[in-house]
Amino acid sequence: MDIKHFHRAESLEEAYQLLTENPKNIIIGGGIWLKMSKPSVDTLIDLSELNLDQVIDRGDFIEIGAMVTLRDYEIHESIRAFGDGFLSQGISKIYGVGFRNVATVGGTVAGRYPFSDLITPLLSLKAKLIFYPKLEMTLEEYLNTKTKMNHILTHIIIEKEKGKGYFYKVARTSTEFATLNVAVFNNFNEIRIVVGSRPAGPVLLHEAMEYLNKQKEVTDEVLDKTVQLMLDNTKFGSNYQASIQYRQQLAQTYVKRGIKEVLTK
C-alpha cells in the first residue's frame, strides 16, 4: 500500500477540496479494508475531527454520523430499541469488538460492501444518506449508483418507524463473511424484505413485497409464492463460499422464517 500523505481535515469544505483536486486522493472511513485493497493514494483524507462520530435520536428520526464506529452504533440505546433490536443484533455478529471499534458505519455504507451485515438491515428501513456538498438520496438509490461519486457521505438518517425486525447472517463463524444475509422489517403497515451477500450486494425484493403486502393472511401458500417471486426476480450467484443453488435454498428458508418472525407479537 502506497500512501504519500495523511491529512486530518479541519472542515468538510477542506476535505471536499482535497478529494476533488486529485483522483488519487481518497477519504478513509474506518480503514479496515484499506490494507487489503492496496491502493496507491496521494493524500488519505481523515474525517475523524469533524464531529461525525455521534448517533443522535432526533425524535422522528435517528441521525448517524459517518464516522460512528460499528460498536458505538451497535450499543446506542435508540439503535438497540429499533425493531426489537435487529439492527444491533446484526452488528454484534461481525468479528470481535476490536474490529467493530475500528470499522465505521460511513465507511461500510460508502463502500457498498456486498457482504455487509450493516447495509442489509438498514435497507429494510426508510434510510436516507446525506452527502457534502448538498446531496441526499435513499440508501437504495445509492446502492444502485454504479458511478464513482465525489461527494462525501456525512450522515445516515433512519426514519423511526414502530415495527418488528428480523436479521439473519448465514455463516459458520463470526469471523467470516455472510454466505447470505436476510433482513425483514414489519412496520405493521407493510413488510420489507432484503437479501444480501448473494454474493452480490443487498436488494429489496420489490415484486415479492408487493405481492405479500396485498395478502390478507400469510399462509404457507402465500409464503411459497413470495419466495418464488424472489427467485424469479433476484439474481443469486456462486463463489468460493456457496453455489447459486445453495444460496437460493438458504434465501427461501430464511425469508420465510423472517416473515413469520416479524408477524409474531
d(CA 99, CA 6): 22
Question: Judged by CB, which is closer to other proteins: 102, or 222?
Answer: 102
d(CA 48, CA 4): 19
Question: Judged by CB, which is closer to other proteins: 147, or 173?
Answer: 173
Minimal distance, residue 174 CB to other proteins, in Å? 5
CB atoms under 10 Å from CB of 144, counted, come to 12
Minimal distance, residue 27 CB to other proteins, in Å? 13
The interface region with other proteins, picked from 1-9, 136-144, 192-200, 212-220 by CB under 8 A, is: 1-9
Letters for 201-240 (x = contact with other proteins by CB under 8 A, - = none) are ----------------------------------------
Minimal distance, residue 102 CB to other proteins, in Å? 5
Written as one letter, the residue type at 58 is R
- How many residues bind other proteins (CB under 8 A)? The answer is 29
Question: Judged by CB, which is closer to other proteins: 19, or 205?
Answer: 19
- Three-state SS sequence of the chain: CEEEEEEECCCHHHHHHHHHHCCCCEEECCCCCHHHHCCEEEEEEECCCCCCCCEEECCCEEEEECCCEHHHHHHCHHHHHHHHHHHHHHHHCCCCHHHHCCCEHHHHHHCCCCCCCCHHHHHCCCEEEEEECCEEEEHHHHHHCCCCCCCEEEEEEEECCCCEEEEEEECCCCCCCCCEEEEEEECCCCEEEEEECCCCCCEECHHHHHHHHHCCCCCHHHHHHHHHHHHHHCCCCCCCCCCHHHHHHHHHHHHHHHHHHHHCC
Q: Does 95 bind other proteins (CB under 8 A)?
A: yes
Residue among 51, 175, 233, 238 that touches other proteins (CB under 8 A): 175
Minimal distance, residue 245 CB to other proteins, in Å? 29
Q: Which of residues 30-49 bind other proteins (CB under 8 A)?
A: 30-32, 34-36, 44, 46, 48
Q: Does 177 bind other proteins (CB under 8 A)?
A: no
Minimal distance, residue 97 CB to other proteins, in Å? 5
Residue among 23, 96, 133, 237 that touches other proteins (CB under 8 A): 96
Question: Judged by CB, which is closer to other proteins: 197, or 226?
Answer: 197
Letters for 119-158 (x = contact with other proteins by CB under 8 A, - = none) are ----------------------------------------
Across-strand partners of 159? 61
Residue among 57, 63, 78, 92 that touches other proteins (CB under 8 A): 92
CA nearest neighbour of 204 among 137, 262, 119, 130: 119
Site residues (vs other proteins, CB under 8 A): 1-6, 8, 28, 30-32, 34-36, 44, 46, 48, 71, 92-93, 95-99, 101-102, 174-175
